[in-house]
Amino acid sequence: MTTTLTRADIVDNLVREVDLPRQQAIDFLEATLETMIVALTEEELVKISSFGSFNVRKKAKRVGRNPKTKKEAMITPRRVLSFKSSQYLKEKIQRRKA
Amino acid sequence: MTKSELIHKLSQQFPDMSLRKVEKAVDVIFAEISNALSKGNRVELRGFGAFSVRYRERRIGRNPRTGEKVEVEGKNVPFFKAGKGLRERLNISKGSK
């Protein structure tokens, strides 16, 4: 069965494996995600070796259509995030039986 | 930003943690996500995004050099979807420039 890992599980691991006080573990995880977000908004690339890289791509404006009303609408230019997993992570995940 | 730059920035924010401890903590975070994915589980981090595993069906691919057909086995691949908070933040600060 698929279970979902959340912040709380990662915090538990930081407490257990790094011996951080719980509140500090919570703050540390938050700071890690926040630092990554700031880096993505500013320099558009975050590379975590043996995990993967996050990279921001710019999309030009284009004409889209509201699928419900079929009306044409301009889609504004935007930035989207893509994630490319490292070879290591790919192999680790691929090995698992489907 | 690379992982070592991330570690450096975090160690400035957590001056009471040794550099080794900051390194260990960052490794634990990404190892946890990788391990969950390798067991086929999802990882959901509100405001950031969700990691999951998607299955790619087996298909007939081609060797790009020779043009020869090769069968590519079905496989599991990691997938990341940015959360609403992150998507919005990418499109306010500098996005409209």
Q: Best residue in A1, A79, A91, A95 to probe B by mutation, most B CBs within 10 Å? A: A79
Answer yes or no: do A36 and A49 share one domain: no
Answer yes or no: do A51 and A98 share one domain: yes
- Predicted confidence (pLDDT) per residue in A11-27, tens digit: 999 999 999 999 999 99
Asked whether residue B44 carries a pLDDT value surpassing 60, the answer given is: yes
Answer yes or no: do A56 and A93 share one domain: yes
What is the per-residue pLDDT for A96? 55
Answer yes or no: do A28 and A64 share one domain: no
A4 backbone dihedrals φ, ψ, rounded to 5°: -110, 125
Domain assignment of residue A7, given as a range: 1-42
Would the CB atoms of A83 and B80 count as touching at under 8 Å?
yes
Partners of B2 on chain A (C-beta within 8 Å) are 47-49
Would the CB atoms of B49 and A81 count as touching at under 8 Å?
yes
Helix, strand, coil share of chain B (percent; to 5):
40, 30, 30
Contacts of B2 by beta carbon, 8 Å cutoff, 6+ apart: A47, A48, A49
> Is A43 in a helix, a strand, or coil?
helix
pLDDT band at A43 (very low <50, low <70, confident <90, very high): confident
Answer yes or no: do A37 and A68 share one domain: no
- State the CATH number of the domain containing residue A60: 4.10.520.10
Answer yes or no: do A32 and A69 share one domain: no
Q: pTM above the 0.90 mark? A: no
Answer yes or no: do A60 and A90 share one domain: yes
Q: Best residue in A33, A59, A78, A87 to probe B by mutation, most B CBs within 10 Å? A: A33
Q: What is the ipTM of this complex?
A: 0.86
Would the CB atoms of B33 and A51 count as touching at under 8 Å?
yes
C-alpha–C-alpha distance, residues A15 and A5, integer Å: 16
Answer yes or no: do A53 and A87 share one domain: yes
Answer yes or no: do A54 and A38 share one domain: no
